[in-house]
Chain A
Amino acid sequence: MRGLTISTRVLLGVLLIMLAAALAAPLISPHDPLRQSLLLRLKPPGSADALGIFLLGTDDLGRDLFSRILYGARASFAVATLSVVVSLAVGVTLGLVAGWVRGIAAAIIMRLVDTMLSIPAILLAVLTVAVIGPSFTSLVMVLGLTRWPRYTRVAYASTLQVAAMPFVQASEMAGASTARILARHVLPNIAGPLMVVATSEFGLMILFEAGLSFLGLGIQPPAPSWGSIMSAGRQYVERAWWLTVFPGIGLFTLVLCVNLLGDALRDRLDPRSAGR
């Protein structure tokens, strides 16, 4: 924590609280997020019945909104984390290969990067999920396998640079294996820029998960997701503002924290970009 600005600490704090709330959802949620009750449909925030108070109101099937938002946060974190891990692994591997081997392999990989970057990610995800059928797994796989090119670009450029450095050439001459050189010398040197990309991608993935779930192509009902809660909220916008406002605040706060932390991280690693 040393050397972090106050605003960075606050942002980290908010992010950690949200993560903790998501992880602890089964312990702290006041109601079963799936329990329906036709008598409790679209009750405003603060309503109560014999089972307890509905802090943020209920949805169109009489389920407790607060509990559903807590569980929805789990979906956001899980999808974003897993798809960032998948895309990071794929992207970095391809970038290292392209930067180390160069030649025709690099040409093919980098053309593929250009191609992937010219298909709008949301449209490709919509098409792919619709073809293979929506589920948690297909969401992670589709996001993971479409969002790797930015990592490849960064890994490729940095690997080219690092590979040309004297200490790398020295260890190559000393007989170190390629895998060892990549793991010991190249990867640590490109970790910083990759972290910056991963952070901004993490924010994007949260938005993609919510967006696809909003369109009905993400987390499938009855499982809660912020996007699908808001989709119901759009339907009942005239009668139940709380269905859109509360999950949206959660989503906005989370993405904002991640984006600002990403900016702070980038400025730390590259002081020249500070304030941009």
Chain B
Amino acid sequence: MRHVASRLLQAVIATFGVITIVFFVMRLSGDPTLLLVPEGATAAQIAELRHQLGFDRPLVVQYLAYLSDLLRGDLGQSLVQRLPVSLILGSRLPYTLELAAGALAVALIIGIPAGIAMAVWRGGVVERILAAIVVAGQSLPTFWSGILLILFFGVTLRWLPTSGADSPASLIMPSLALGALAMSTFARMTRISVLDELSRDYVNAARARGLSMGATVARHVLRNAAIPVITVTALEIGNLLAGAVIVETVFAWPGIGQLAMQSIQARDFLIVQAIVLFVSVTYIALNLIADLAYTAIDPRIRSDA
């Protein structure tokens, strides 16, 4: 229980810290009003808006007002679209979640079998080939792999749509581009985790009983090796949400990543602020869940916490 409480407290502190950092970043330019007015506003209009938004109050007062708004779930009102920010964010979020789910599926379906294969056939040709793919996946910029996919499957072969989210087929290329990095992470984690398990006594015992390597891995090793991989999954979901900014821009995918870039261009910074807050808080929550799940599954961690 003490572990749970201390992790909860840590998550609350991190959330509070994120909120505070974003508040100050928004004020780095000196006057946040200038980030919110449409291009070409007069000085009088800016002054009026500054007063209306409360940016002429002392910083401490602004900060407390901002905190209390956030606590009530109020992300503010978009001055450009004249709609609540939460409404705008909510309308785009399903697309990003769909993309993240697609990328996660790609990463898990390719990454985990690849990791198992690398561990089981350690030192062989299979491991070398897969290891090369994993390293490549880690060094591939998503915008490059995205455009290469467009060039190949979209422009040359004309199999898949090059942008937008009009058909289920539209999801394939963005998912591949976004999922490549997570795929490498899963493959690496699974490999280490399976190798750790393979070196344990129960594996030798199972083999000595005449169980084949395949059966030993399938029946015993994978179950134990899954724990660290589950933890990584939670963390990777957070990374996928953040990575969506670039991938959505490449594929004109209408999620929160594209929304962030459009809002910067439209000088609608309350939306950008909300997206950063949303993704960060999700990231902290996933981290917490992963940690608590890990503790729940593996009691050895609980004792020394």
Task: Verify A234–B250 contact, CB threshold 8 A.
Answer: yes
Number of A interface residues in the complex (CB < 8 A): 44
B13 touches A114 (CB 8 A): yes
| Sample of 16 further A-B pairs with CB below 8 A, known A114-B13, A126-B245 | A115-B13, A115-B14, A126-B260, A126-B264, A127-B25, A127-B276, A131-B26, A131-B269, A132-B28, A210-B143, A215-B245, A230-B144, A234-B147, A237-B150, A252-B140, A259-B138
- Residue from A122, A214, A217, A252 in contact with B243 in the complex, judged by beta carbons closer than 8 Å: A122
At the interface with chain B, which of A17-25, A62-70, A86-94, A240-248? A240-248
A241 to B243, CA, bound (A): 24
Residue of B nearest to A212 (CB): B246
Interface residues of B in 236-266 (CB under 8 A from A): 238-239, 241-243, 245-246, 249-250, 260-261, 264
- The residues in B between 268 and 285 inclusive whose CB is less than 8 angstroms from any CB of A are 269, 272-273, 275-276, 279-280, 283-284
Q: Which 7 A-B pairs have the closest CB atoms?
A: A115-B17, A120-B242, A248-B144, A256-B139, A255-B139, A244-B147, A130-B264
Interfacial residues, chain B to chain A (CB-CB below 8 A): 10, 13-14, 17-18, 21-22, 25-26, 28-29, 35, 135-136, 138-144, 147-148, 150-151, 154-155, 162, 188, 192, 238-239, 241-243, 245-246, 249-250, 260-261, 264, 269, 272-273, 275-276, 279-280, 283-284, 287
List of A residues within 8 angstroms of B138 by Cβ: 259
27 interchain pairs, CB-CB under 8 A = A111-B17, A112-B17, A115-B21, A118-B14, A118-B280, A118-B287, A119-B21, A119-B22, A120-B279, A120-B283, A123-B275, A123-B276, A123-B280, A126-B245, A126-B276, A127-B26, A127-B272, A127-B276, A130-B269, A207-B141, A210-B141, A214-B246, A227-B143, A230-B147, A244-B151, A251-B144, A259-B139
Pick the residue among A112, A127, A203, A227 that contacts B139 (CB under 8 A): A203
Asked if B276 and A119 make an inter-chain contact with CB atoms under 8 angstroms apart, the answer reads: yes
B154 contact set on A, CB distance < 8 A: 237
**Interface 1/0s, chain A 95-126, versus B by CB < 8 A?**
00000000000000001101110111111101
CB neighbours (8 Å) of B275 from chain A are: 123
Task: Determine if A44 is an interface residue (Cβ-Cβ < 8 Å).
Answer: no
Chain A residues close to B by CB (< 8 Å): 111-112, 114-116, 118-124, 126-128, 130-133, 203, 207, 210-211, 214-215, 217, 227, 230-231, 233-234, 237-238, 241, 244-245, 248, 251-252, 255-256, 259-260, 276
How many Å from the CB of A254 to the closest CB on chain B?
Answer: 9
Give the residue of A116, A123, A214, A234 whose beta carbon is less than 8 angstroms from that of B242. Answer: A123
Tell me the bound Cα distance from A119 to B239 in angstroms.
10
Chain B neighbourhood of A276, CB < 8 A: 188, 192
In angstroms, Cα B17 to Cα A111, docked, is 8
CB <8 Å contact, A120 and B239: yes
Contacts of B261 in A (CB 8 A): 126, 215
Residues of A within 8 A of B22 (CB): 119, 127
In the assembly, what is the distance between CA of A127 and CA of B136, in Å?
A: 29
CB-CB under 8 A from B273, the residues of chain A are 127
Contacts of B14 in A (CB 8 A): 111, 114-115, 118
Interface centre among A111, A123, A128, A214 (most CB of B within 10 A): A123
Residue of B with least CB distance to A211: B246
CA distance A259 to B155 in the complex (A): 31
A127 to B28: give the CA distance in the assembly, Å: 11
Residues of A within 8 A of B28 (CB): 128, 131-132
CB-CB < 8 A to A116: which residues of B? 17, 21
How far, in angstroms, from A241 to B144 measured CA to CA in the complex?
12
Q: Specify which chain A residues have a CB less than 8 angstroms from the CB of B269 in the assembled complex.
A: 130-131
Q: How far is the CB of A1 from chain B (nearest CB, A)?
A: 23
Q: Which residues of A contact B243 (CB under 8 A)?
A: 122
Q: Which residues of A contact B135 (CB under 8 A)?
A: 256, 259-260
Determine whether the beta carbon of A118 is less than 8 Å from that of B284: yes
Chain B's nearest CB lies how many Å from the CB of A153? 14
Minimum C-beta distance from B146 to chain A (A)? 8
